[in-house]
Structure 1
Amino acid sequence: MTRLISFLFIFLFSTASLAQSSALEKSATLLVLGDSLSAGYNMDIKQSWPSLLPDVLANYDKAVTVVNGSISGDTTGNGLARLPQLLESHTPDIVLIELGANDGLRGFPPKLMSANLEKIIDQVVSAGAKPIMMQIKIPPNYGKRYNQQFEYVYTSLSDHKNIPLLPFFLEHIILKPEWMMNDGLHPKPEAQPWIAEFVAKELYQYL
């Protein structure tokens, strides 16, 4: 009887361990659709936060393959144009949308940006993937009214489409001049590990 109980205990423990191991080994594919803030601007792509993200997410027991589909200078319109090919090529499970900074810096109408982002979200959903947006903010010198309209695009789409909205990492980085490049817009390589930790902490609950 004692041997039988021991055997059952070992069998159940092994089964549970295998199930847990399988869950950890199953890797989801995350596509980062972004601009220079995600593309590794003026640095080796291996130093960029999307490249560091899988190792950080592993600390949260999340096995994730990250595809960095970010291009410096991209607007929401550029991202929308490139998205179909990215979805077809990589069939992601999740798409993190980090776009809009260049729309804002060029003074594009928030309504245009909102329309582009909504189309991006709809395409992601139609492809069977989960969309997640990152809140983007622009410098205050663009005026209070434009800034409010710009930021409202993200909160309103998040509510309307019922999708997660991650906070903007640059708000924290910009407070550390030693982490910012001379242009005052892009984080240095030294800031990338912190960004990866920040994004992972906000993102893991949705994976």
Structure 2
Amino acid sequence: MSGLRRRAWVAHCSVGLLAGWASGLAAAADAPVLLVVGDSLSAEYGLKAGDGWVALLQKRLNDQKKPYRVVNASISGDTTAGGRSRLPAALRTHKPAIVVIELGGNDALRGLPLSSTRDNLQAMVKVAQAAGAKVLLAGMQVPPNYGSAYGKDFADLFEQVAKPARAAVVPFLLKGVADRADAMDWFQPDRIHPLAKAHPLMLDNVWQALKPLL
């Protein structure tokens, strides 16, 4: 092959590669968005980037060739009131097909009234559904020292919000982690945030409820 033909061939291949790369980017941008609005359990608090269940969710979607683009809008320390206030802007920006709401744990830690947690979650589900998104609520439970009555009422809250709205629900995001005999071996020193090894289990809990929505 002459030098001129070789340069032309290389140029042709380069254009093809660039076109394929641009096409891949466009396809990713056009993929339906799965928006996660959560707190530190979803924001990779204390973890290396990519070790949290939300990042693992994107990998599983890719591996199973489900064309969704995950947007993680989680903020450590956030409450349902915080999520309620910022969700409308996130809906306008990302136009998600699915919204996963993982909030409520910090409400309990701060002793906020269950009625306000319920109202905020109901409002978030309503506004997300009005924007055309399917909704999944990730439920939480509190330690026994909060009292059996409060613990039951808090755990039941998520199902009570989800059922009338026909939203999907994960009863307990930390099932298989916080309720195991060696639970403390699965948490960071603060005993609140799970270690990286717990996040695949958290993803499995979410996946069971999420898969029918995909």
Q: TM-score range by the shorter chain?
A: 0.7 to 0.9
Name the CA distance, whole Å, in 1 between partners of 2:211 and 2:60: 10
CA-based RMSD = 2.0
Relative distance call for 1:154 and 1:193 in structure 2 (3 A) is: closer
Structure 2 gap ranges (5+): 1-27
Name the CA distance, whole Å, in 1 between partners of 2:208 and 2:154: 25
Q: Going by fraction, where is helix more abundant, 1 or 2?
A: 1
The question of 1:45 aligning with 2:59 is answered no
Is the 2:176–2:201 contact (alpha carbons within 8 Å) kept by the matching residues of 1?
no
What's 2:20 paired with?
none
Shift in Å at residue 101 of structure 1? 0.2
Shift in Å at residue 169 of structure 1? 2.8
Query: How many percent identity over aligned positions?
Result: 38
Q: How many correspondences in the alignment?
A: 184
The question of 1:158 aligning with 2:166 is answered no
Worse-matched range after superposition: 98-107 or 156-165: 156-165
Is the 2:169–2:209 contact (alpha carbons within 8 Å) kept by the matching residues of 1?
no
Q: Which TM-score applies when normalising by structure 1?
A: 0.81
What's 2:81 paired with?
77
What's 2:33 paired with?
29
Name the CA distance, whole Å, in 1 between partners of 2:121 and 2:205: 23
Question: What letter is aligned with 1:51?
Answer: A
Worse-matched range after superposition: 42-51 or 97-106: 42-51
What's 1:204 paired with?
211
Relative distance call for 1:110 and 1:29 in structure 2 (3 A) is: same
Worse-matched range after superposition: 147-156 or 91-100: 147-156
Is the 2:168–2:209 contact (alpha carbons within 8 Å) kept by the matching residues of 1?
no
What's 1:9 paired with?
none
Name the CA distance, whole Å, in 2 between partners of 1:32 and 1:76: 13
Name the CA distance, whole Å, in 2 between partners of 1:204 and 1:142: 33
What's 2:22 paired with?
none
Shift in Å at residue 140 of structure 1? 1.4
The question of 1:190 aligning with 2:194 is answered no
Name the CA distance, whole Å, in 1 between partners of 2:112 and 2:159: 18
1:84-115: CA deviations, max 9, x gaps? 11111111110001100000111111111101
Shift in Å at residue 62 of structure 1? 2.3
Name the CA distance, whole Å, in 2 between partners of 1:192 and 1:148: 24
Q: Match of 2:36, SS?
A: strand
Q: Which TM-score applies when normalising by structure 2?
A: 0.79
Structure 1 runs, 4 residues or longer, greater than 6 Å off:
none
Is the 2:170–2:205 contact (alpha carbons within 8 Å) kept by the matching residues of 1?
no
What's 1:67 paired with?
71
Name the CA distance, whole Å, in 2 between partners of 1:197 and 1:60: 14
Q: 2:134 aligns with which of 130, 134, 152?
A: 130
* Higher Rg of the two aligned structures: 2
Shift in Å at residue 59 of structure 1? 4.6
